[in-house]
Structure 1
Amino acid sequence: MVDRNWVWTGIFLLSFPVQFALVPTASAAPPPKPDARAAALFREGRVAMAREDYATACPRFEESARIEPAPGTLLNLGLCQEKVGQLAHALHSFTTAIDKLPPHDERILFARERVAAILPQVARLTVVLPRTAPPDVRVLRDGQEVPPEELGVEVPIDAGRHQIELELPGEPTLRRSILLAPGESRTVSLDEVEQKTQATVEVKPSSAWPSRATVGYVVGGVGAASLTTSLITGALVLGKKSIVDEECNESTCRSQKGIDAASAGSTLSTVSTVTFVAGLLGVGAGVYLVLTDEGSSSDGATSGAGASSATMFGPTFLPGGAALSVWRQF
């Protein structure tokens, strides 16, 4: 069975040269001579279309139609755009060709069939400007400026994800991403885009950095983990010490087991000491950061004009050693 679409395609591929080969009647004015550049581009597009090289054919037909929008060129362009999934563009090409064709041209039937097939597959979008938009505002859809005549009216658009941008003089670009389903109709009010973007901008500075209290909890947690490690290694040191006491005297060890225990005990003792000091510093620093967080003292600051507080952090020397202390004066 012959594919009807390709039969029609064969007719359209011949339509461009044929329409200029007609012999004028005595009562009709001679047809205008076709633009040489447009005709050459059409021929190149026809050759590429025949070998299904749509990436080459579509730009050729598009440029030819831009120079001279003949109905045959527009029909071929619509077919090419449909093949590559540019359905909204194909719809525009077919409807423009219908407007240019004579009322009884047999190609109108095919063009209307393609329009009927494409319509359920495209979405429809209406973009509404802000009420206070200045005259020089620019609206972009997927990086391309939307013509003023398309603002506030429903236009066909390919289904899928699209980005709408609003450019106001002296203001940052406002953006909104939308996802359209085939056959869906959507209205996008750029008033909502403006309000949502401003709200986002206002929130960003306050959430840029974590609070001192949050950092304090993290540092304190790390310090507590270090203290736990110190306690575990300290317990292991005691176990090694008991072996050394059994296998060694003050100067020598009687077995390899005693020698290994003495070596391991020395290493574990060093680890225990280091992690204990690191843990103590971490816990102290964490407590200091939590107590000096601005949010934790805001309530006290508003309780009275004369109220004041101070947090101090430093070493405390004891008879048997030293400790890290944090204290607060209210």
Structure 2
Amino acid sequence: MSLPLEGLSAVVTGAGRGLGRAEALELARLGASVVVNDYGRPGRDGSGEASAAPAEEVAAEIRAAGGRSVAHTGDVADFEQARELVESAVAEFGKLDVLVNNAGILRDRMVFSMSEDEWDSVIRVHLKGHFNTTHFAAAHWRARSKAADRPVYGRIVNTSSEAFLAGSAGQPNYAAAKGGIVGLTTSTALALAKYGVTANVICPRARTRMTQDVFAGFAQPDGGLDPLAPEHVAPLVGYLASPAAAQVNGQLLVVHGGLVAIVDRPRVRVRFDTGQDAFTYGELDALLTPHYAQRPAGETFAAAEVLGLRHERDSADRAPASADR
């Protein structure tokens, strides 16, 4: 019996640790050949000397289990290094079929305290990093599709966060980047569908070095799998990368601890139309002020309840913001 991803090749970024590692191992277990990418800096803020060790160790683990894997230690936020990453999959395995974007860093600060570098660095790694690899993977699939005069097989799984859904007051850079990734994903899904490519985005919640502060108060169980283990997230990535998910495109899914929640697109809650040629201040005051007076004080567009600290399998919208890796 063949494996779901047998004959396919994948790139997983930020795969030297945490979620990326679990995802790379899962794709390999399902039969994919995997390029394990990780820049290897030890600090979760992207600081420290780059090291090949994290990526090499995961690639070796895959090979030891009988799979095919190579390591790549480039910086996905660098345009040319992202090109080299995609080209390495093609050179090693003949083609690229699956791209999982996971690499990221944290530099948390309130918006009034955040420096320009703290903003730029997080946007660069998360949002530009996702764009860079997507750009070169998309170009690869488009060229293959045109050469064959038919759709090809392509899967993109991007990583957003509940921090985007909830606003995450102490992470304006991270929340903005993760919101941008959702926009990038839905745009990509529309643009590449005709070539046979799907693009989806997940909001994972897991206990990793990136979330050690968020989940510090949640003890790991004495026995059994930790409800916050990255291994709860990896199977969904494997599914989205598979032929079974051919009809899943442009979707946002929250995943953690035995739960997968499909998030619907925003909907118009109420609509007001002017009774004149154009709205006036007075008309808007008469319409909007009573409307907002009837709603809970402090209610915002952000789904603030996501930041609650309860972990119930039947409640996808009550837990703290998560980070990738």
TM-score w.r.t. length of structure 2 = 0.22
Higher relative contact order (CA 8 A, sep 6+): 2
TM-score w.r.t. length of structure 1 = 0.22
User: Of the two, which has the highest radius of gyration?
Assistant: 1
Return the structure number with greater strand share. 1
